[in-house]
């Protein structure tokens, strides 16, 4: 099964997976925390500036 994700979907899913593994005490994440994780400037390529509506 091939799953095709656009860059936005891949970023959101990747951030959820990363934060679940690295900071499980803060999981599940609030929407604001997820937006911050998606817009993180370090260790992200490409750097994105997503809005809350886009992440939702």
Q: Specify the pLDDT at position 44.
A: 87
11: domain CATH number is 1.10.10.10
Q: Specify the pLDDT at position 6.
A: 95
Domain count across the chain: 1
Question: Which pTM does this prediction carry?
Answer: 0.84
- Structure token digits, residue 47: 């750097």
Kindly state whether residue 32 falls inside one of the protein's structural domains: yes
Kindly state whether residue 51 falls inside one of the protein's structural domains: yes
Its domain, for residue 19, covers 7-55
Reported as a single tens digit per residue, the pLDDT across 2-53 is 999 999 999 999 999 999 999 888 878 899 999 999 999 998 889 999 999 9
Contact 19, 29 (CB under 8 A): yes
Kindly state whether residue 1 falls inside one of the protein's structural domains: no
């Amino acid at each position: 099964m091939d799953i095709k994700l656009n860059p936005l979907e891949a970023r959101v899913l990747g951030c959820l997976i990363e934060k679940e593994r690295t900071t499980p005490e803060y999981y599940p994440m609030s929407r604001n925390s997820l937006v911050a994780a998606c817009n993180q400037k370090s260790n992200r390529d490409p750097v994105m500036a997503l809005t809350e509506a886009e992440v939702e």
